[in-house]
Amino acid sequence: MSPSNRPFETFEIGPFVAPRIWTGLWQLSSNAWGSASVPKIRQGMARHVDMGYTAFADHYGSAEIIFGQFRESSLSKERIIGATKWHVPQRFDFATALMSRLQLHWQDYSDPNYMVALSHLLDLHLEGVIGSIGLVNFDTIRTDQICTELGPGVIVSNQVQFSLIDTRPLHGMADICEKHGLKLLTYGTLCGGFLADKWLGEHEPSLYSSDLTPSQRKYLDMILRAWGSWELFQSLLLVLRRIGDRYGRSIANIATRWVLDHPFVGAVLIGVRLGLAEHPDENEKAFGFHLSAQDEAEIEAVLDHSNGRTMITSIGDCGAEYRQ
């Protein structure tokens, strides 16, 4: 299929036109996922950009440096979006922080100075230092407060966890997105890779298995302790496989499409181990179709047996698990 005929989906976020699948770089923050050489990582970034995956997020540590160098050296740098994070409090050199986006994470809500921090970021945005301002793991109440006080269009996104397993954004956050014209950038959409064909029919893995990545341990714990059981998860995978057969798609494609079909979602972040494990061609198959009412009903029939709707009370609202 020629590039012009590919069903590649985009959306508007602030002044940018971005793909609806972003490349997550969390895996570059630790060698626990395995590591590739910096040249191979840059080659992987270039390969993604050439295919239309021009947005990268979850920048920590060396990932920040590698991505920054890649973007500055790229002939296509004006179309490459980097969503970096500012964790407060920490030292931050605004004078050298020229970037396309910046996302604010605030650890302690008892300190209300996140509004002060955001006012400074707004000044930098107006000066052209940063392209847009987004939030990371802000809950429904604070997201509504921030968007109300700063006014329309200032905050363009909130990055939160959202998947077939973690549906907390459906309980409040979705309404706030509609109210303020906000888009969610969602992570955990594939639960660290568990929402995939390779796990269909597999026995329950041990949380302490050396074969699991840190991301998989996190989401396996959520599946088993908060959402339901491995048996119920297998039922979900089976339903997703049957739906995938109707469209010639994988389980991961169906799980991604389910998230993308929600109008308040701008894009999903799919983690990539650049130079080691990349699936840009496979991920692209999440585009070009929509789930039917029958598909959604079959999925809901499984989710009805889970604790998904009560996770917002057992875990807390979006991002609460990072503040406990």
Average pLDDT over residues 230-241: 98
What is the pTM assigned to this prediction? 0.90
**Which carries the bigger pLDDT value, residue 191 or residue 276?**
191
Quick check: 114 and 88 in contact, CB under 8 A? yes
Q: Kindly report which listed range (172-176, 191-195, 236-240, 318-322) carries the lowest average pLDDT score.
A: 318-322
- The pLDDT, as a whole number, for residue 91 is 40
**Residue range 245-256, pLDDT digits in tens:** 999 999 999 999
Q: Is the pLDDT of residue 224 over 50?
A: yes
Question: 41 Cβ partners below 8 Å, 6+ apart?
Answer: 28, 66, 274, 275
Locus of tokens 């973007």: 71
Question: Which pairs from 309-314 meet CB under 8 Å and 24+ separation?
Answer: 309/167, 309/171, 311/166, 311/167, 311/168, 311/226, 311/227, 312/168, 312/171, 312/172, 314/226
Lowest mean pLDDT across 8-17, 165-174, 285-294: 8-17
- In this prediction, residues 31-56 reach a mean pLDDT of 79
3-state SS, residue 22: strand
